[in-house]
Structure 1
Amino acid sequence: MEKETQPEIVSSVLKVFSILEMLSEQKSIGITELSQRIMMSKSTTYRFLQTMKTLGFVFQEGETDKYGLTLKLFEIGAKPLEYLDLISIANKEMLFIAEQTGEAVHLGTLEDNEIIYLHKIDSSYALRMYSRIGRRNPLYSTAIGKVLLSSYNNDEIRTMLENVTFVRHTDKTLENIDLLECEIEKVRQQHYAEDNEEQEAGLRCIATPIYDRFGQIIAGISISLPTIRFKEENLPHLVKLLQHSSQRISQQLGYYHYPKINL
C-alpha cells in the first residue's frame, strides 16, 4: 500500500514547491497565469493554493484570483538563524565559564518534549561526563530542562509531558509530574535549576535561563561536574557565574530585565 501511494506523495511535494518558487518571484499572481507557468491544471492549482492558504503560507488578494506568499516561510527559515546567533553569542561566555571552573559547559534548548544540546565546551579534567552536540535528554531530569520548563505554567507542562514516561535513570530521578511541578516552582523562585544526580549517578548540573528580546526563555546554559569535585559551599559562586553569563547573553539578544538571584 505504501509503495503505491509514495509516487503520488512525491509528486504532490514537487507541485507544492513549484508553486512556492513561482510565488516567490512576484508579489502576487493569478491562478490562470500560475497554472500555465507551472504546467498544472487550474483546478489542481486552486486546490493546492487553498490548502496552502489554510496553513498560512499563502494569502489571497480579497475576492480576486490572485495569490501571494505570506511571511510564514520566512519565519520558519529564520529559526535556524536564531540558533546560529545564539551559539555565536553564547560561545564566548561558555568559554569564560569553562576557563574559570575547568568544568563542562552546555547550551541547550527545547525540541518537542526534550532538551537538545546546541553547543558544549568540554571539561579540562580527565574525569568528565559524556555528551555531544545534538544529543537529547529528558526535561524532567536535567537542569537545563527544568529551566526551560519554568517558563510554562503547570497545565502547559502537563500537556507537554503527557506522553512522556518518567524513566528512573537513578534513584534520585523525579518519579512523576507532581514532584516535577514542585521542583519547577522552586526554579521559578530562585531562577536557576539543579540536577542532583537525577540524570546520571555521580554527576551534578546547575543551569540558568537565557531570554530572548521578548522576555521568553529560549535556552539555558549549565555547568556539569562530577560529585567528587562538587562542594556545596561553591554553589553560590557557580550560580552567579552562570547567571552573569546568561544575563550578558540575554542582553545581546535584546533582553535587559534579567532577574536577580539572591543566594
Structure 2
Amino acid sequence: MTKSESHQGVDRALRVLTLLGDNAAGMSLGEIAVATGISKSTMHRVLSAMKSRDFVHQDGPSSRYMLGPAALEVAFRFQAESPIVASFHDQLVQVSRWSGLTVHLARLMDTSVVYLDKVNPIDGLRTNSVIGGVNPAHVTGVGKALLAATLDEKDDRLLKGSRALEARTEHSITNLAELAYELELTRERGFAVDREESEVGVMCVAVAVEVVTGEFLGLSATGPSPQVIAIGIENLGSALLSAGMAAPYSRPAGRER
C-alpha cells in the first residue's frame, strides 16, 4: 500500500466515524456510500476493517452500522479527562468510602448510559462495569435518574422510538407504562432505584446532576442488595445529592429543580 492509499484509507475511516457520530440510529451501507460519495464496494471494505477492530458495530436485525464500543471507549476516555467530569471524582470517592459501595458517574446517550468515572470500595463487591462501558438506561438506577431528568413527564418520544425494553433479570422493567411510572416516582423523590433490575443480588441508588453546560450527569451507588438496604435508599439518595451539590460545576436536579 502506498502512502497516498494509506492516507486515503484513514480519511475514509475518519469520515465514517464522523458520519455515524451524527446518526445515533445507525446507517445502511447504501446511505453511508451516498453520504460520503464512495462506492458501496469500497465502503464495504472500509466498514469491514473498522468492524474487525470494534470501531463500528452492525445491528443484526437491521444490518445498520453504528459506532462500536472501541470508538465509544476512546471518546469517553477523552471526555473523562474534562474538567467537569474530573471535578466529580473526589465526591465519588467520599460517597464510596462512606458507604462501602461502588460509585459511578455516567451520562445518557440516547436510551443507554455510558460510564465516565468509577470508584470501587476498598473492601466488598466490585462491579464489572468499566469506564466507557454502556448499559441500557431502563435497567440501571443512573439511567432512570437521567431519563427522569432529561425527558418531560409527558414526552416519551425518545422511549417510543427505541427498541423493545430488554430484560436483564426477572425484575427488569420491560414495558413503557411501567417505566413512565417509575420515572415519575424518581422525579418526586429526587433519586432513582434499581432493584436488582440489571443484576440479581445487586441494587443501586442514583441521582441526576445538571452541570453548567446544561447537560445532565448521573451519580450512582451500587452494591449487594442487603448492604444497600442496610444503609437505606433515602440515606444513599441524600448522600448522592449532597455529593452532586458539592461538585463545583453542578446544579442538582430532582428535589432541587
Q: TM-score, normalised by structure 2?
A: 0.64
Deviation at 1:131, TM superposition (A): 1.1
* Distance across 2 between alignment mates of 1:94 and 1:140: 22
Give the alignment of 1:110-121 within 5 angstroms: 110-121=108-119
Counterpart amino acid of residue 177 in structure 1: L
Deviation at 1:242, TM superposition (A): 0.5
Q: 2:242 aligns with which of 225, 241, 244?
A: 244
**Other-structure match for 1:187:** 186
Match of 2:170, SS state, is coil
Preserved CA contact (<8 Å) 1:148 1:217? no
Deviation at 1:200, TM superposition (A): 0.7
**Other-structure match for 1:221:** 219
Counterpart amino acid of residue 249 in structure 2: L
* Distance across 1 between alignment mates of 2:115 and 2:95: 17
Counterpart amino acid of residue 199 in structure 1: S
Counterpart amino acid of residue 212 in structure 1: V
**Other-structure match for 2:172:** 173
Residue 209 (structure 2) pairs with residue 210 (structure 1): yes
* Distance across 1 between alignment mates of 2:142 and 2:103: 11
Task: Kindly provide the CA deviation profile for residues 5-48 of structure 1, in whole angstroms up to 9, marking residues without a partner as x.
Answer: xx8xx59x68xx9xxxxxxxxxxxxxxxxxxxxxxxxxxxxxxx
* Distance across 2 between alignment mates of 1:260 and 1:232: 23
Preserved CA contact (<8 Å) 2:207 2:219? yes
- In structure 1, stretches of 5+ residues that fail to align are 1-6, 18-76
Q: 2:249 aligns with which of 234, 237, 253?
A: 253
Task: Kindly provide the CA deviation profile for residues 121-148 of structure 1, in whole angstroms up to 9, marking residues without a partner as x.
Answer: 0122243321111110011111111111
Deviation at 1:171, TM superposition (A): 1.0
Counterpart amino acid of residue 121 in structure 1: V
* Distance across 2 between alignment mates of 1:104 and 1:171: 23
* Distance across 2 between alignment mates of 1:88 and 1:156: 32
**Other-structure match for 1:123:** 121
Counterpart amino acid of residue 134 in structure 1: G
Deviation at 1:83, TM superposition (A): 6.5
* Distance across 2 between alignment mates of 1:136 and 1:149: 15
* Distance across 2 between alignment mates of 1:192 and 1:217: 17
Name the CA shift for 1:155/1:97 in 2 (closer, same or farther; >3 Å).
Answer: same
Name the CA shift for 1:217/1:185 in 2 (closer, same or farther; >3 Å).
Answer: farther
**Other-structure match for 2:196:** 197
**Other-structure match for 2:135:** 137
Preserved CA contact (<8 Å) 2:112 2:135? yes
Name the CA shift for 1:81/1:129 in 2 (closer, same or farther; >3 Å).
Answer: closer
Deviation at 1:226, TM superposition (A): 0.5
Match of 2:221, SS state, is strand
Identity level (%): 22
Task: Kindly provide the CA deviation profile for residues 72-119 of structure 1, in whole angstroms up to 9, marking residues without a partner as x.
Answer: xxxxx9xx6697122210001001111111210000001232100000
Task: Kindly provide the CA deviation profile for residues 216-259 of structure 1, in whole angstroms up to 9, marking residues without a partner as x.
Answer: 4511100001013232562222111111001122xx2264x765
* Distance across 1 between alignment mates of 2:227 and 2:115: 23
Residue 92 (structure 2) pairs with residue 100 (structure 1): no
* Distance across 1 between alignment mates of 2:174 and 2:79: 36
Match of 1:167, SS state, is coil
* Distance across 2 between alignment mates of 1:125 and 1:89: 24
Counterpart amino acid of residue 118 in structure 1: L
* Distance across 2 between alignment mates of 1:163 and 1:248: 34
**Other-structure match for 1:147:** 145
Preserved CA contact (<8 Å) 2:222 2:228? no
User: Which protein has the larger Cα radius of gyration, Structure 1 or Structure 2?
Assistant: 1
Deviation at 1:196, TM superposition (A): 0.5
Q: TM-score, normalised by structure 1?
A: 0.63
**Other-structure match for 1:29:** none
